[in-house]
A and B are shown apart, each in its own frame.
Chain A
Amino acid sequence: MRFESLCVWAFAAFAFGVGGNSIDDELIIPDETESAGSGDQTCSIFGTSASSQENIEMEQLNTSSIEENVNARTSSEIENAGIVLFENNSIVRYPFDEELTLKPLPRNFMLASFAFQMQSNNLTVGKSEVSHDAYRHYTVFPKSLSPILEYSQTRELHLRFTHGRWDAESWGQLPHNGTKSGGSGVELWAVIEAASRDEAFENWIMLTNSLSGLFCSSINFINMEKTTYPVHSFQSSDQQPIPIFDTSKKAYLLRAALANEPICTENLTPFLKLLPTRGRSGISSLLDGHKVFDSNWHSLSMDVETVCDGDTCQYHMDANIEMVFNVQNSLARAENPIPKPLGDAELQCDESKPHNAWECFPLPQSKHIKFRLSELFGKKVVGSNLISENPSKVCAQVSDSWTVYLDIGDSLFSTDDNCFAIRDNELHDLHFQSDDTAHVVKSDDVPLFVSRSLTGYGQDGGGLRAVFRNPNNVTVDAIYFESLPWYMRLYLSSLEIESEDGLEIGDVIKSTFYLPAIDRQRPTHLEFNISIPAHTTVALSYQFSKALLKYAEYPPDANHGFEIESALITVLRPIRSEMRTATLLLSLSTPDFSMPYNVIILTSTVMGLAFGTLFNLMVKKLVTVEEADRKAAAKRSIKAQLIEYLARLKTNGNKTNQEKKRQ
């Protein structure tokens, strides 16, 4: 009973206490007889008394920008003595969009690109979290990410998990012009608001540690010696200014990469958890770690931007998962999870060449193909996402020689643009059919081909060589960004250019930004503004020497070598695009790790010897040679004693014999 009276009090405190400024004002508590006596006023009374205020409250209800498109609809309210528990006279929609694009590539490859877009609720800018009317609301934007961004004052966040090799020669330009994929491994850059660079770095470390926990990744290994502050690269393409919440602060751009960091299922699972559909409906229901990471190239990317309109700010997030896989291999894998050699009846041999049960030259792969999406991904699309204004969309970018059908419950549909909207909760599948798989939609031309390699041999030095090839008819302007670890001591003076067209360094490199490394504190940071004329190939090379590390700085597997992160090329003209070189593996001189102990032992032995000699000189007795000889003579040695004893035995024996004879 008393507990209930407590509730009555508490209710009263809430119900009547609106709008007061001080504590005392709002604590209008029912008179004492009520609180002390009538304890049977239970919680259910509350509903009715609250409903009396409902009209006032409904006016206050401001439709926040998050729930767009409130359409009037016939209401089917559960009316019960004026209490409306659930309203459904308006369609609830959230700012979320998803789209899957499938694009066949030459030689039976296929690019699958999952794109998700979402927006957060309005942020409370400049309001303390503890203030009494500060509430944070999360709907589609992940709740796990938002506080991290707020605590670390991050205004923009870009995270990339990429692995594999993108074959630009055959597949063309990277998806989204390369702006949504990183170098092999993990790459992270962020715009952080801070009063000073040190504070920005502190926030950055907080951010990396939190993301590391969120994505089960080693992002926490990012430290001072991996972080750069890019000057020309990594600028956001849209011209919107970065919102600064506190005008006394500045925005800092920080960037770091973990080269060749393995990307695995445990990175994908938290990624899917960020989506409001959680991989349970919509196109994300196709995503499965086994399929994503079984591909030739895959990239998980996440971009969060703060977008402000006046005083209201929101986070906009783009999440992309992209992969390239070989259709034939994937189908074969789906059919036969454990690869087995084909039986001789199934072998397709080239009949123009000798063939029998032991000898077979296989035919080139067939140009005809027919497959379903569910065969590639192992499952069908489980309905649409229901929270978005736009239904989930699946698009196929195919040429004329392909036909694509949408399969809903065994009935097939097709559209002109091969884009299909997924509706409701049904299972959807996609049929692909082609009589010429080589005929695909032409990819955008690659503006520049870049490759980078290590040169030289030996333990003390080496070189880096980057080759740029411009296959187009126009000059390409680009920024070359490179961040090298401090143990590669770069000699910029050794920068050389090789060009068949007789280009000089000045013709290619328009400007240079160079920040030399500081041992264990800062990486080498190099940015070139380059301009490559049409149809030319240029190679830039420079030398470096390898530093010796302290023995504790070697990784557990020192003989594997050290991964050097990829270089970024941002093409500015003719089209804006990004590309990255492959990572490099640098081998440093690796010491024998038992050496320190050997050195200790050897040095100690030498010191012990020296000390022993000195000590003996001072402590032992000094005698002349004659004295020593005399002493040696005087001292009966064991040998002498033994001879003497034997002699004595002999004489005794003789004597006894003689006595015996006498007797």
Chain B
Amino acid sequence: MSQLYLRRVVALWFGAVFALVGVPLWYKLTTIYRAPLPGTYISSLRENMHSDVHLVVPVYVRSDTYKFPDVHEAIQLQADALLQSKPRAVNWSLQILQAEKNQVLDPESDYVLTLTLDDFTGYSIAYDSKETIVFFDDTAVVSNDIPFFAAQTLIEHTFGTEWTHLSLDSSDQNDQGNRGLGKSSEMAISYAPKVHLSLSLLTGDGRPVAWNIESTLNQYFTPLRQFLSPLINFTVDTSILHFNDLNLGSLHDIQDPSWQDLAHSIDLSELSSLNHYREKNAINLAIVFPSPEAGQLGFVNATEDRPWQSFMVPQWGALVVNKEALPDNSRLTQDYLAPVIYSFACELFQFLGLSNEKADLSTPYITIDSFKRVTTLKNLEHGIETMWSLIKLTDQFPQMAVPKQVLSDVEQAISLRLKAVELLNDPKRGDEATWNEALHLSNSFVEVCERAFFHKEMVQQNFFPQEHKIAVYLPFLGPIFVIILTGLLKTLRENNDDDEDEVEEKQVKISDSPADETEQLDEKTHDSSLTKE
């Protein structure tokens, strides 16, 4: 009895060690490392996008003629009320501050609202600073309309970009789940701090051409680059390509091609491929001259001063198509190039998403500043979407490795986001440097998020199938498991068998001689025969 007990204990121990130590150990040693990513935090960020953002822009009020001691409070109330009237994707408000005594306001850095007495009521936004001037007359003072005027001017005009971009459209209101910012126009490329510009002069034949591009760019384009540099830095190259008319020659005999004809014929492959830009995005300008063999392009709406027509290709760039082929040995002069570059610059704002046809850039300082804030917010949204995709991906592929580097990137991204949000929320800071820094932080946030998502090891490990592990370990684990299991079952079942054995043994001991047994048997058979009878 005690021996059976001991054997059972041994078998149980083997089983227990196998199941409780061996299997977990094997599992632990053969599983891939998955860094614990803050999944819930990120999904909650995504669900309540911008919930912790409350963009506050300080605006200083000054009055030239009258002293209004409480006008900033009144404007603040009106502005808040106006902002409340429209649902917003992102919380934002203005912080109306009174210029303190002896404080010198710098309208190039801070938003300044100047109240000026005049014969009429109206407003004016400066084009070279961030100053808004509200004109009022005495009747307005009497009827106490100034705060409302001022609030309306600020919100609907000075901060018009925010007012349109950060508000929810009425059509979006039902879609409360995804309170994202509106999509930018189809024309615009996605925002990146560095953008490549590629200007090409294409001719359909091999005759030499030249252009005064260097002087034209220096004169007309350098100032634009400087002006946009806080927001976007450009790298620019120019090239002359022969024997490439983007397949426009095939359209020469069509008088009035439709958009489809044009879109289907144009072959941009050679301009788009084989380029080694470091920048993520590129905008192209292609000035195309047909070859003389192809003849003039009838569909181009050209004048004598302006023998070309400009077309925009969404997210690619502008095409300047010339009606006539170039004469021999031509050099494009600045007279030709300046309007082209100018038209391209107008289109460039659309490609960058700075304006669509509705918006105007008569107040560049304010628009660019607003654009910085909107871009910052869009960047934050974009980064969170990227991180959420990362979380979704890791959830979907449980055997995918998540390296430590990804975790540290995600952590860095979250801290960058918090820093950017802190800057945006700070009601005391609203000068140009603040918005630049917030934009800069949000750019690095997007970059870090994408670095985390596109980690090399993570994607590679996904292609290592789980079956390999089983194939390699099954020849070892299979036999051992079977041996232990059958051994254990046998010792457990041995109980009954042994009892029977022991009973039999007793019976054997009772009936000592085999003769008795036969007698008994005979008796039994005899009995049965009797009963049958």
Contact = CB atoms under 8 A, between A and B. Distances in A.
Given A61-B215, A139-B240, A634-B504, A10 B276 contact: no
B175 interface: no
Interface string B160-180: 000000000000000000000
A493 interface: no
B362 interface: yes
B326 A618 contact: no
A129 interface: yes
Given A18-B219, A85-B333, A273-B274, A280 B362 contact: no
A50 B335 contact: yes
Contacts of A277: 206, 242-243
B222 A132 contact: yes
A503 interface: no
A507 interface: no
Nearest to B357: A3
Interface string B206-223: 111110111101111111
A136 B3 CA distance: 92
A135 interface: yes
B361 interface: yes
Contacts of B332: 85-86
Nearest to A35: B362
A93 interface: yes
Given A13-B227, A47-B335, A83-B335, A24 B128 contact: yes
Interface in B322-342: 326-336, 338-339, 341-342
Given A51-B335, A92-B331, A138-B237, A130 B343 contact: no
Nearest to B479: A608
B290 to A, nearest CB: 15
Contacts of A87: 330-331, 333
Contacts of B212: 57, 61
A13 B472 contact: no
Interface in A82-124: 83-88, 90-94
Contacts of B479: 604-605, 608, 611-612
A53 B341 CA distance: 16
Contact of B274 (A35, A270, A608): A270
Nearest to B128: A27
Contact of B329 (A18, A92, A600): A92
Contacts of A43: 306, 339, 342-343, 346
A352 B416 CA distance: 94
A44 interface: yes
Interface in A624-663: 631, 634-635, 648, 651, 655, 659
Nearest to B341: A14
Interface string B497-513: 00001001100100000
A47 B525 contact: no
A18 B330 contact: no
B338 A387 contact: no
B223 A35 contact: no
A233 interface: no
Contacts of B488: 619
Given A10-B342, A88-B329, A151-B276, A15 B220 contact: yes
Interface in B184-215: 194, 206-210, 212-215
A645 to B, nearest CB: 13
A23 B487 contact: no
A387 B208 contact: yes
Given A135-B238, A137-B214, A277-B243, A32 B361 contact: no
B349 interface: yes
B350 to A, nearest CB: 9
B104 interface: no
A144 B237 CA distance: 11
B355 A6 contact: yes
Interface in B217-250: 217-227, 229, 233-240, 242-244
Contact of A385 (B206, B307, B329, B336): B206
Nearest to B4: A621
A84 B304 CA distance: 11
B335 A26 contact: no
A607 interface: yes
B500 to A, nearest CB: 10
Interface size bracket, A side: 35 or more
B10 A618 contact: yes
Contacts of A85: 307, 332-333, 335-336
A336 to B, nearest CB: 33
Given A18-B223, A133-B222, A604-B475, A214 B274 contact: yes
Contacts of B508: 634
A86 B349 contact: no
A148 interface: yes
A573 interface: no
B491 interface: yes
A454 interface: no
A333 interface: no
Interface centre among B7, B208, B307 (most CB of A within 10 A): B208
Contacts of B338: 46-47, 50
B483 interface: yes
A44 B305 contact: yes
Given A147-B277, A151-B278, A6 B335 contact: no
B346 A132 contact: no
A10 B209 contact: no
A210 interface: yes
A652 B4 CA distance: 44
Given A88-B328, A608-B483, A144 B276 contact: yes
A7 interface: yes
Contact of B342 (A46, A84, A280, A603): A46
A280 B203 CA distance: 13
Given A32-B124, A276-B242, A54 B329 contact: no
Interface centre among A2, A143, A621 (most CB of B within 10 A): A143
Given A86-B326, A634-B504, A67 B210 contact: yes
A36 B194 contact: no
B360 interface: yes
Nearest to A30: B127
Contacts of B220: 14-15
B492 to A, nearest CB: 11
Given A18-B219, A135-B238, A605-B475, A611 B327 contact: no
Interface in B47-84: none
B360 A621 contact: no
Contact of A147 (B108, B276, B335): B276
Contact of B339 (A44, A54, A86): A44
A60 B216 CA distance: 10
B345 interface: yes
B275 interface: yes
Contacts of A24: 108, 128
Contacts of B215: 57, 60-61
Interface string A1-21: 011011101110111011010
A144 B275 contact: yes
B493 interface: no
7 contacts: A5-B362, A32-B124, A44-B339, A90-B331, A137-B238, A387-B207, A619-B488
What are the 8 A-B residue pairs with the smallest beta carbon separation, nearest first?
Answer: A608-B479, A17-B223, A604-B475, A138-B239, A604-B476, A14-B220, A136-B237, A2-B360
Interface of A: 2-3, 5-7, 9-11, 13-15, 17-18, 20, 23-24, 26-27, 29, 32, 35-36, 43-44, 46-47, 50-51, 53-54, 57, 60-61, 64, 67, 73, 76, 80, 83-88, 90-94, 129-130, 132-139, 143-144, 147-148, 151, 210, 214, 270, 273, 276-278, 280-282, 383, 385-387, 597, 600-601, 603-605, 607-608, 611-612, 615-616, 618-621, 631, 634-635, 648, 651, 655, 659
Given A26-B226, A44-B305, 15 more contacts: A3-B357, A3-B360, A7-B346, A27-B128, A54-B333, A129-B235, A138-B237, A139-B240, A144-B274, A604-B479, A618-B7, A618-B10, A620-B7, A655-B529, A659-B533
